Amino acid sequence: MVEDLKRKVLIVLTVLLLLSSAQAGSTDRLSGHQCTDFQTANFLRGSKLKVQFLLFTHSSPSCGELILADDGIKNCSFNSSLETKIIIHGFRALGTKPSWIEGLVHAILHSSQVNVIAVDWIYGSTAAYPSAVENVTLLALSISQLISKLLALGVSGTSIHIIGVSLGAHVAGLVGHFHGGQLGRITGYKYLICDHMRAVHLYVSALKHSCLMVAFPCASHQDFLNGRCLDCVDPFLYSCPRIGLQEQAGVNMRKLPKEVKVYLMTSPSAPFCVHHSLVEFHLQKTRNTVTSIEITFFSNSTKDTAKITIPKHQEMGKRLLAHSVPLCQINRVTLKYLPKSQFWRKDESFIVGKFCAAPLPLASNRTTSCLPWNLTLPSKTDISYELPTACA
């Protein structure tokens, strides 16, 4: 069952690392309770699953409050009228606290008034990876018990959001299964599930900069870049997963097929967010050679490039272009035809065609806006046009 869940969701994200530093307090001044940090395990000894639930709140985002097993929730700062985010880390080869956890807790509490419960299963996650996987079911049961206690306090199932990272994502899936399948009380579970640690930093960045990142379900990265996955109407997803804390953040496990890969582009530094546009070039007449056109978007302060390749004998080529400002702020586009000249045959000295662009995700009527004339592109020459897209 765990293997099955492992395959269920795979979100492929590639971004740069942004480590946050860790620090542990002792006693919190406001609430007076003892601050508890994550455990540290020695992988030679640390095979027992010692689960700790640490509560972080808006008033003390740096001080973890240990939720005691019995009636702990009643007598701590947990506020049952707020939403609850449960964070589950993954495999910890070195038996140490994940470096991203504080950054994530802070980013969540900075952007919303919620209860954050970090699940510390450093011990169980430290042994050899297969053992950590074995502990996943036990861990999921123990988290389910905690959730049952929250429900008993009158917390609504839909106000609980599980953020599982890496192996923690599989735990999240299992917890969802226990509650969705058996208790039947939690119907809208929402997850953010990633297969890569760096995705957490992207998530933190999205929270801090409150920019929304949309990821597109797609079979492969090449298909994504070549503009084959343009909308959010995949039958298995209600919408594209959005990285952020918005209402629709995350994907619904029960609607997913065995494996869904989603892709997005990111900028190399924070805030990482980019906007995706589809760019297309339609040739006036097809050619018996491949056609390459370099497209550059300019705003007042940014410049972003992508290359459209039109296969031979085809009329149209398309590509995704990632830009850091919305399409409506792009005021100029340049097109450059790159001929494929070989020494025995010279390529044509110009091409004629139509250029179109559309922001993603595409609206259901799939309208693109085109430069309203037949463009003539001389070889290796930047031809510049104004892009008349007004901000709404």
Give the residues lining the site for ligand NAG (CB under 6 A): 33, 47-49, 75, 79, 81-82, 113, 124, 127, 131, 134-135, 138, 284, 300, 329, 363, 365, 367, 373-374
Given the complex with ligand NAG, which of 246 and 367 has the nearer CB atom?
367
Nearest Cα to 10, choosing from 226, 258, 276? 258
Q: Give CA separation, 221 vs 2, 18, 212, 275, in Å.
A: 27, 23, 21, 17
Given the complex with ligand NAG, which of 253 and 358 has the nearer CB atom?
358
Nearest Cα to 176, choosing from 143, 131, 217, 138? 143
- Give the relative orientation of helices 101-111 and 198-209 as an angle to the nearest 10 degrees: 20
Q: Give CA separation, 220 vs 208, 217, 223, 240, 262, in Å.
A: 29, 9, 5, 15, 8
Given the complex with ligand NAG, which of 288 and 300 has the nearer CB atom?
300
- Half-sphere exposure in the Cβ direction for 370 (13 Å, CA): 13
Distance (Å, whole) CA 300 – CA 88: 42
CB of 267 to ligand NAG, least distance (A): 18
CB of 134 to ligand NAG, least distance (A): 4
CB of 208 to ligand NAG, least distance (A): 22
Given the complex with ligand NAG, which of 83 and 223 has the nearer CB atom?
83
> What is the DSSP-derived secondary structure letter of residue 346?
P
Tokens, residue 324: 């850091």
CB of 3 to ligand NAG, least distance (A): 15
Given the complex with ligand NAG, which of 2 and 82 has the nearer CB atom?
82
CB of 271 to ligand NAG, least distance (A): 17
CB of 53 to ligand NAG, least distance (A): 16
In the complex, residue closest to ligand NAG by CB: 131
Given the complex with ligand NAG, which of 127 and 264 has the nearer CB atom?
127
- Residues 6 or more apart from 29 whose CB is under 8 A from it? none
Q: How many residues belong to the chain?
A: 392
